[in-house]
Every structure is written in structure tokens, then in C-alpha cells.
Amino acid sequence: MKISFLILLLFIFFVSACNLPGGSGATQAPAPGESTGPCGDGVCSGPEDAQNCPTDCPSSPAGTSQPAPVHQGDAPLYLTTMTHMEGNFTDDRDQAVFLRHVEELRYGMDLAEEYNALLTIESEKPFARANTIWNLNIMAEARDRGFGVGTHCDFGFQSELMPVEQYAQFFAENKALVDALVGAENNLGCSGGGGVNDWAQAASMAGFKYLDGIVGMHYLSMPLENRPDSTWTDDYIRT
């Protein structure tokens, strides 16, 4: 009888010890994703964390910011290109020149596809006309292969000041030739056209949605205070 009573006392002692502060029962960590605290009381305390009680313990508490990401390895280098079929080309008069340019463009597109890159090919009048004259629409081919197409406007630098409506005709003539090759819906932008005239308004009036290839000569249409600094005079730009 005494032995049974002693065994019972020892059993009660060990069970009680497991539930005392500091005992193994009080320090057992909650399983991941399981909250044992008063989750939802607005206080992040006890065993609560962002995993088992995101309501009380947001991952980014108010007033704090996420640490800056640490980039491993080399960062990518992004390049943009415009391929200009220039106004002084003789493609519309010399088929051999045109075919050489076609071969070079196809090589460029093949190379770009190999590296998952995109080209934008913009044409002035001679090359655009040559697509029709020699019955080989390389501009449409570029469009169909997923490359960018547009118009090159290789004029304006030497132009005299004129009404914007008159200057818009220069843009419109170039645009019409490329529109006929790729469709107006695909010919939205123009490169070039900078000078003393209002090239932005003129290009817009001709139907272009954007201009690229902005260079120093485009500042000729702007007052000196809107140029990079006071050294950007007309003479500085022209020389």
C-alpha cells in the first residue's frame, strides 16, 4: 500500500513539474504556421509572428521599410538601338545597294533573335521607295518578325524657319511612304526632324505619336533658357 502511494506521489510531482513556469511544457515553441497566443488582439507578442499571426504581426510594421535587396552576380546591361536607312542612300536607284542593305538587315534581325533582342528599323524616302520599286518589302518582313518599324526624318538641320503647317508636310511625305509598307497603325514614330522649326508640333500634325533620336539640333527650336546651359548657343550646336 505504501509503495503504491509513493508511486502515485511521484507521478503527480512529475506531471506538475512539466506545467510549472520554466518547465518543458511552458517553453515548447509553437509549430510553424500555428499561433498559440491571443492572435487578433492587435498586439504582436509571445509566440506570435508574421507567419502564424499576420493580423497582429505584419511583415513590414508601419513606419518601417523593407531592407534593400541584395543583388547577387552581374546586373543586366540594357541597350537600345535605332537602325536608320538614311536619306542619302541610293537604294531606289541601285538594286545592288538595296539588296546588300536587305542582306545586312536580315543578318541583324537573325542576330537579334539569337539573343532575344529587338531592333527598330526606321526608313527615309530612298529605302522606303526601294521596297516598292524592287518588289521586296523588307520593312513588312521586319514588322512580321516582331521588330519595331518606323520613319526616319533626315531633314530640318539646314531648314529655314517656316509655318508649322508647312514643316509638317516634310514629316507627312516620309510617313506616307512607310505607311504604305507596314500600315499606319505600325508606323507611329519618327527619328530626326530637328532644327529651328517646331518639330514636335509638326510631327504630331503629320500623324506621328512619338519622336526618338533626339539630338543637339533639336534644341535649335528652343530658347536658350530651355537648353542644357548657356553654352548651348546656335553656333555651338551647329559646329
- Nine cell digits for residue 51: 507567419
Residue 86's SS3 state is coil
Helix (H) or strand (E) holding 121: strand 120-123
- Nine cell digits for residue 21: 513556469
- Band (pLDDT 50/70/90 cuts) for residue 38 is confident
To 5 degrees, how large is the angle CA 151–CA 208–CA 77?
A: 65
b/e code 68-83 from CB counts within 10 Å (16+ = b): eeeeeeeeeeeeeebb
- Band (pLDDT 50/70/90 cuts) for residue 1 is very low
> Measured between alpha carbons, how far is residue 164 from residues 35, 41, 63, 98, 115 in Å?
71, 68, 53, 33, 42
What are the tens digits of pLDDT across the range 171-185?
Answer: 999 999 999 999 999
> Measured between alpha carbons, how far is residue 74 from residues 70, 115, 116 in Å?
12, 17, 18
Cβ neighbours, 10 Å, residue 186: 16
What are the tens digits of pLDDT across the range 76-107?
Answer: 888 888 999 999 999 999 999 999 999 999 99
CA 37 to chain centre: 46
**Four-point Cα dihedral 143, 147, 148, 149, nearest 10:** -40
pLDDT value at 160 more than 60: yes
What is the rounded distance in angstroms from the CA atom of residue 24 to the CA atom of residue 14?
11
Q: Which residue has the higher pLDDT, 213 or 179?
A: 179
* Residue spans per domain, the chain: 83-238
pLDDT value at 167 more than 70: yes
Nearest alpha-carbon partner for 189 in 105, 164, 174:
174
What pLDDT is recorded for position 75? Answer: 80
What pLDDT is recorded for position 80? Answer: 84
- Mean pLDDT over residues 179-199, rounded? 97
- Mean pLDDT over residues 32-59, rounded? 71
What pLDDT is recorded for position 216? Answer: 95
- Band (pLDDT 50/70/90 cuts) for residue 65 is low
